[in-house]
A and B are shown apart, each in its own frame.
Chain A
Amino acid sequence: MTTDELEQLLAQQPVAVLHRLARGRVHRHFRAGKRRLIELLLQHSSQNLAGLESDLQTLIAERQPPAQPARSPGRAAGRAPAPPSKQPLPGGGEPGIGEPAVSLAAWLEGLGVPAPQPFVPDPWQNEALRALDDSDVVVSVPTGSGKTYVAVEAARRAMEDNRTVIYTSPLKALSNTKFTEFSRIFGSDKVGILTGDRQENGQAPLLIMTTEILRNLLYDAASGEIDVRLDTLGLVILDESQYLADPERGVVWEETIIFCPSQARLLLLSASIGNPQDIADWLSSIRTTPCRLVRHSKRTVPLRAGYLHPNGKLVPLFKTAAIPHGHPTHLHPEAKRLFIEYEEETLPSGRPRR
């Protein structure tokens, strides 16, 4: 929207709307007449055109009868193929000329269900599986990137070689979920579970347990009480291994890794952590097999951050649609303004926040 268009649009509005729009933007706006207000708002628009536009649209939409919610900016990019809006106001879809911050519509773009695609493993998933042939592997990838696929494929390959696989997770609830999931994939006779209060199918080739149980098994084996399952043990998968840093339970992961039989491969699956290389180096230093780190920081499904004001207004949180890694201060000017407004209104003045 050019300045001229904006000026026309503002001139069409009643002065009450202009005053509401000027709130928080123009100092002492209540003293200005309509012409002066438009002037001041246009001056302000040089700083933050996007915010002004989207606010204006919300206000206009509020004044319209609610029977036509199709004008809300989110709908323009929604999954339904909405007919192009014939209103004089552009949907805020095109970022203005020289506008620094992303508009809401651009931010919401791409929302929806992707077309079904055949599953193709990501390169890092293949890399991890290949590396597992001749070394231990530490995987550090963001939440929701598909670590489970690696676990399932690795377990399948090990079981094809008639080796036992142990899969551990930190929480009993997660163990139960995985038990259900793996039983569905491999068949219920192939999968067993051992937790503090549940033991099922304990001789199955794929055993799911909490890490504490595995640690106890390894201790018993070390003191001579031989467990046949450990002799054929080919692969140990430690899920959520960022629990290594848990103040109370982290030690269990260390014990498990230290006492893990040398013939078994180790696969550590972890969320993004700062020093995965350290863990890989540590494994290399204490085990006979080398250890490879598979690291991947890009999310499969891109993430965007938004800011929802208590009055229901949604704006992007950052200037760019994607999250600006390494630049926490690149906030969307509108989000910043709304948050400051929120803090001023909700917090007693002179009191420190929190």
Chain B
Amino acid sequence: MPPSIHPVDLIASLRQKHLTPAIVFLTSRRACDEAMESFDHADIVLPPARQDAIAAALERVIAQYPSVAEHPLIPTVQRIGVAAHHAGHLPSWKIAIEELMRQGCLDAVFATTTLAAGVDFPARTVVITQSSIRKARDFTDLTVGEVQQIAGRAGRRGKDQVGFAVVTPSPYIDLGVLTKGLTGHPESIDSQFAISYAMVLNLLKAHPHEQIQGILAKSFAQFQLNRRAESLERKLDTLHVQMEPFGPRVCTDWITQWQTFDQVRRQRPQRHQVHRQESPELSARFHFMTPGRVVGLTRGRGIVLRQYRSKGQKNPMISVLRPDGAVTECPATTVADIFDRVFDCEETSAFPWCSAAAFDELCYQLTELPTRLPILPILVPKDSEPLSDAIVQSMGDFPCPTCPSRPACQKDFTIAHRLRQEQHRHIKSIQALRASLWHRFQERVEVLQKFGYLSPSSQLTEDGEWARLIRIDHSLLITELIRAEAFTGADPALLTGIMASIAHDDDRPGAFPRISTGLSSLLGQVRKLAESLSPYEDPPLLRADVAALAERWIADPNLTWIGLCRLTTMAEGDIYRLLARTLEFLSQIHTLRATHPGLADSASKAIALIRRGVLEELP
């Protein structure tokens, strides 16, 4: 089975079911062009009467827009009644196709999904072949709104009783996305409010700094932020209600109180973990097993050489000198008696834990000991609880251990603590939501002050006064270029080249063989400046090939449109859009005629030179 239906078969089956005229949305421009090519040898030609009707309609359009006449697709359009309509075509061609579609001459139009919003003509049927759309170099699933916008083209008012949206599978399709899109409820839209440098300058020109917060508060962004803040506030209120049963205790802020108390309490046992295992007798007696002390073990007696704690379990241990001269390690628990007799013992850090002389001396003393020795009386604290004692001692600051509401606090703490954390989080985000736009505005103001467009008191400086008239993308780069006098003495062609490279935001490849040295060095400067401005403004692509293309169009007034198109691999429609956008940028520069007469003059010359050929013919 083919991965997707062949365009010829598609049109044939649509015709057979009387589902024409149709708009077929394809993935890419290339897919549209290939679909058109596949009709080259197709035999599904229209009857002569309809072919004549198309020819007549085309002639009427050509009379208005002569550039349509040489379009390579015209034979196919006439013969089969299908056409391609995408951003790679000139606007005149698109107008022609739209006109033919409106008159009902065509059976199908192949269009790209990317341009679905710009396809402003209805048909009986819409064919959908994909469920994703190219957005910023990446494919993302169509949203419900987009699917409905595409499907919405089906069904012409007054010409159709029913419209049809036909899904046909291709490797780019996920049926789930489309069925959800067709049956679903469109998404909510969110504000995309962004504060640009031009906006800051224009606002500060018209309004004093203090009023701006009020103006920003009128934006849909702030409206939606407030909505979110309000919903958070409602949550906060319910949290307050939930907190009520936990209120008032002996201390004012019992949650914090208990939290710190609890933390300290948790840390305590860890430090004393070892001792908790020991019986009170043992810990009392262990203090007396000092080096030189005579102790009674289960078998015979010995002299303590050192006391220590075992490595893993930290059991209290002693090293004992036995009467036969051996040194044994035994746990303190095996000590039966502690005698009231201590010898001097010069301790050392290594085996046998005392100096050699002391060792011999102790061996001798041990054999000489009398059979009966007095036992050391050791008092063991019987009824005291060392654990809580320790806490009470170390936590003198905390009232909790003796507080009457302690059991209640202990029980409620986890829930109350969670609620309080949520409360704090909400309060913080509400503050952030209420003030975020203003903060962003202030950030921009600081940057503009740094560059000298605004005075420290947020008044427009001389530079600011003219810079506010540049209200396009990359305005900071353009105004900085003007201030750096990069365009001084630059002829209209150079200016156009630079503006084109700033204006062009498409990354489709397009080759151009030569770039003049003047333009390339100027473009190098622009790149350097854009790089240095990148912390404050995203740098444009600054492509050399589009700059060269635009420059050539201005520099060579004899260059025809066809000649220009031959110089590059870019599609006609892309070149047109590039020049049209450049024109817009130049007309912004032209508004600076009061302060920069030379530059504005150069811009107006460039504008006059751009408007020729195809660009003049079109609206």
Contacts and interface: CB of A to CB of B under 8 A. Distances in A.
Interface of A: 69, 72, 74, 78-79, 108, 110-114, 116-117, 119, 142-144, 146, 170-174, 176-177, 179-180, 193, 196-198, 212, 215-216, 219, 222-224, 240, 242, 244-248, 250-251, 254-255, 257-258, 271-275, 278-279, 281-282, 285-286, 299-312, 314, 317-318, 323-331, 339, 342-343, 345-346, 353-354
Contact of A196 (B3, B171, B587): B587
B517 to A, nearest CB: 30
B205 interface: yes
A254 B619 contact: no
17 contacts: A112-B160, A112-B161, A142-B148, A143-B148, A196-B581, A246-B192, A251-B192, A272-B148, A279-B220, A303-B164, A303-B165, A308-B5, A310-B2, A310-B3, A314-B13, A317-B182, A346-B1
A301 B160 contact: yes
A250 B192 contact: yes
Which 10 A-B residue pairs are closest in the complex by CB-CB distance? A143-B152, A301-B155, A196-B584, A250-B192, A245-B189, A274-B188, A74-B17, A222-B206, A275-B188, A308-B168
B158 to A, nearest CB: 7
B196 interface: yes
Interface residues of B, number: 87
B577 to A, nearest CB: 9
Contact of B161 (A111, A172, A325, A326): A111
Interface in B42-90: none
A136 to B, nearest CB: 14
B13 A308 contact: yes
Given A222-B202, A254-B221, A325 B148 contact: no
B484 interface: no
Interface string B13-37: 1001111000000000000000000
B240 to A, nearest CB: 26
B165 A304 contact: yes
Contacts of A142: 148, 152
Given A108-B17, A110-B161, 16 more contacts: A69-B16, A113-B160, A143-B149, A173-B118, A193-B619, A196-B584, A197-B584, A219-B468, A254-B221, A301-B156, A303-B162, A303-B163, A304-B162, A308-B167, A312-B13, A346-B171
Given A251-B196, A329-B179, A114 B161 contact: yes
B187 interface: yes
A345 B175 CA distance: 16
A234 B143 CA distance: 36
A271 B163 contact: no
B127 A278 contact: no
A97 B275 CA distance: 86
Interface string B591-615: 0000000000000000000000000
B151 A303 contact: yes
A174 B161 contact: no
A177 to B, nearest CB: 6
B244 interface: no
A305 B174 contact: no
A197 B91 contact: no
Contact of B224 (A177, A278, A306): A278
Contacts of A309: 5, 168-169
Contact of A78 (B18, B94, B151, B159): B18
B162 A310 contact: no
A282 B223 contact: yes
A245 B190 contact: yes
A260 to B, nearest CB: 11
Interface string B188-221: 1111111010010010011100000001001111
Residue of B124, B151, B182, B619 ringed by the most chain A CB atoms within 10 A = B619
A328 B151 contact: no
B155 A302 contact: yes
A231 to B, nearest CB: 17
Contacts of A312: 5, 9, 12-13
Contacts of B148: 142-143, 271-272
B179 A346 contact: no
A302 B154 CA distance: 9
A198 B215 CA distance: 31
B386 interface: no
B202 A111 contact: no
B584 A271 contact: no
B163 A302 contact: yes
A273 B152 contact: no
Nearest to A177: B120
A74 B188 contact: no
Contacts of A215: 471
Given A196-B587, A251-B196, A328-B180, A307 B117 contact: no
